[in-house]
């Protein structure tokens, strides 16, 4: 397992091999074999080479690597990059997995997980989510204050959430075109290796042959599978990745448009400008001016010397840059209400800052019809109501009106977001103000529940 760079904190749990590594470094390189781990980074980008593939991890993503996997890590930055990585002992992972899928009788008869084979996780980057990422953030916030026993308990919860993420990834793999489940999972691993390779090396000259070689697929097989998995071809995804990076650099760097064009991998300024305008509706130069104009006005608003009498003039000026238009659209594209109808199973649930155990969330089901919102836990009805949705609000709003007992006629206000796969609903009980964010902090009395639609 990797040695600690400078300025590192390493805290071991009482599971022996389980530990967290919190470090900062500008330059760092290591090669070797490690246990199951989750890699997170901030203030920069870090590159991993794993089994011929490449992965880039930054503020927006985390990487999962399996136990016994050999890999290389490289950091080469002008500014310190902060890492927070969690390494898990195999015994801990096996114990959590077995306790979640075995019957109570089996757990009583054989309480130890000796000989149990743990899951083989998908080695890929994941965008930070509302399932696992909050647990990682809690460990990062508190690990220095935790004794070994409490740290171990926290790591059990992290593994529970990691298994939920793995279950969602497996459901994504099931949608690939292959007859056997094992084939679909292997295709999923390989096509994600191709996707991560594109993300990590998007500034390089990448051909379909290069990407197919990394994925260990024929070029045509990769082309079909990539489109099946992500809805675009590898080249279309490469162009989109470059354009998004260019947009970020235009907003955050002092480099010229030409330098940014070349830096992200385009060879022709004319082609870059045309693609950028087609994708974002404005030229690269106009995008930079609009972003900086907005940032300057934001700094004025936040300044202690700002004169409130200038507010109306400022709003008009910002409106001219499309401020009102930008914020009148939903942050996520919600599908029509009828698309939400059906039965949903619970992926994760957090109540008043505390995560419900996976053994509980696995029993939760939500049924949505045109006028009914009903949650059950096994045979027990927990919440039965009518509901209304307002997609014009940002985020979209939901009002649930109780139909039974003391909640009859009372409104539980909330917000919701759907990305086409997961439905997030954050709400509070009647009498409390509607949540403004998708979070459930301690003391907030908020419920944050993530649902995934069940197969028909």
Joined together, the tokens standing for residue 60 give 């927006």
The answer to the question of residue 62 being in a domain is: yes
Q: Are residues 56 and 146 both part of a single domain? A: yes
Same structural domain for residues 159 and 47? yes
Instruction: Check: CB of residue 70 under 8 Å from CB of residue 110.
Output: no
For residue 2, being part of any structural domain is answered with no
CATH code, domain with 43: 2.60.120.810
Q: Do 22 and 82 reside in the same domain of the chain?
A: yes
Residue 392 maps to which CATH number? Answer: 2.40.128.280
Contact 343, 453 (CB under 8 A): yes
Looking up tokens 């009805």 gives 381
**Listed residues 130, 148, 173: the one ending a domain:** 173
| Tokens encoding 326 | 């930008």
In sequence order, what are the residues at sequence separation of 6 or more whose Cβ sits closer than 8 angstroms to the Cβ of residue 327?
394
pLDDT for the residue 377: 86
CA gap 269, 257 in Å, rounded: 8
Total structural domains in the chain? 3
Give the range of the structural domain holding residue 261, as residue numbers without chain letter: 239-328
Token pair of 147 as six digits: 């004794």
Burial of 293 (0-12, 13-18, 19+ CB in 10 A): middle
The answer for residues whose C-beta is within 8 angstroms of residue 329's C-beta and 6 or more apart is: 394
pTM: 0.68
The answer to whether residues 367 and 319 belong to one domain is: no
Arithmetic mean of pLDDT, 319-323: 33
Rounded average pLDDT over 81-100 = 92
Q: Tell me the mean pLDDT in the region 156-168.
A: 93
Angle between helices 181-200 and 148-173 (to 10 degrees): 110
* Percent residues over pLDDT 70 in the chain: 84
User: For residue 157, which of 62, 93, 61 has the smallest C-alpha distance?
Assistant: 93
Statement to judge: residues 353 and 433 lie in one domain: yes
User: Are 397 and 304 in a shared domain?
Assistant: no
CATH code assigned at 253 = 1.10.10.60
68 falls within a domain = yes
Same domain, 297 and 343: no
Residue 37 · residue 43 · CB < 8 Å: no
154 and 49 housed in the same domain: yes
310: confidence class by pLDDT, cuts 50, 70, 90? very low
Question: Any idea which residue has 């916030």 for tokens?
Answer: 141
Express each pLDDT in 127-137 by its tens digit. 998 899 999 99
pLDDT value at residue 13: 56
Most confident of 290-304, 315-329, 403-417: 403-417
pLDDT at 117 over 60: yes
């Amino acid at each position: 397992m990797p040695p600690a760079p400078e300025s590192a904190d390493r805290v071991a749990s009482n599971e022996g091999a389980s530990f967290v590594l919190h470090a900062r470094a500008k330059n760092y390189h290591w090669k070797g074999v490690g246990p199951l781990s989750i890699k997170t980074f901030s203030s920069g980008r870090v590159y991993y080479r794993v089994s011929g593939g490449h992965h880039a991890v930054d503020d927006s993503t985390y990487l999962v690597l399996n136990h016994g996997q050999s890999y290389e890590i490289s950091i080469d930055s002008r500014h310190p990059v902060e890492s927070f990585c969690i390494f898990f002992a195999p015994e801990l992972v096996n114990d959590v997995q077995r306790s979640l899928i075995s019957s109570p009788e089996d757990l009583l008869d054989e309480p130890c997980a000796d000989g149990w084979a743990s899951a083989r996780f998908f080695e890929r980057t994941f965008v930070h989510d509302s399932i696992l990422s909050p647990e990682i953030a809690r460990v990062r916030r508190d690990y220095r204050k935790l004794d070994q026993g409490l740290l171990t308990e926290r790591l059990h919860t992290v593994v529970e959430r990691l298994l939920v993420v793995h279950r969602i990834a497996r459901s994504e793999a099931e949608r690939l075109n292959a007859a056997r489940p094992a084939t679909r999972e292997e295709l999923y691993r390989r096509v994600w290796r191709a996707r991560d390779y594109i993300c990590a090396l998007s500034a390089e000259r990448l051909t379909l042959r290069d990407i197919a070689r990394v994925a260990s697929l024929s070029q045509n097989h990769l082309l079909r599978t990539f489109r099946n998995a992500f809805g675009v071809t590898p080249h279309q995804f490469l162009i989109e990745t470059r354009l998004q990076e260019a947009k970020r650099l235009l907003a955050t760097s002092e480099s010229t448009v030409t330098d940014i064009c070349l830096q992200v991998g385009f060879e022709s300024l004319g082609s870059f400008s045309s693609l950028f305008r087609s994708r974002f509706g404005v030229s690269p130069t106009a995008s930079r001016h609009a972003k900086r104009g907005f940032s300057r006005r934001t700094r004025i608003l936040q300044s202690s010397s700002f004169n409130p009498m200038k507010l109306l003039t400022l709003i008009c000026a910002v409106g001219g840059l499309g401020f009102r238009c930008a914020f009148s659209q939903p942050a996520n594209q919600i599908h029509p209400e009828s698309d939400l109808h059906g039965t949903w199973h619970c992926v994760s649930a957090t109540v008043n800052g505390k995560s419900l155990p996976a053994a509980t969330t696995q029993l939760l089901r939500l049924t949505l019809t045109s006028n009914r919102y009903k949650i059950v836990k096994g045979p027990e009805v927990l919440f039965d109501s009518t509901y209304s949705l307002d997609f014009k609000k940002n985020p979209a709003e939901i009002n649930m009106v109780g139909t039974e007992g003391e909640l009859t006629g009372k409104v539980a206000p909330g917000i919701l977001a759907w990305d086409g796969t997961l439905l997030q609903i954050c709400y509070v009980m009647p009498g409390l103000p509607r949540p403004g964010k998708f979070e459930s902090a301690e003391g907030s009395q908020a419920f944050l529940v993530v649902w995934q639609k069940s197969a028909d």
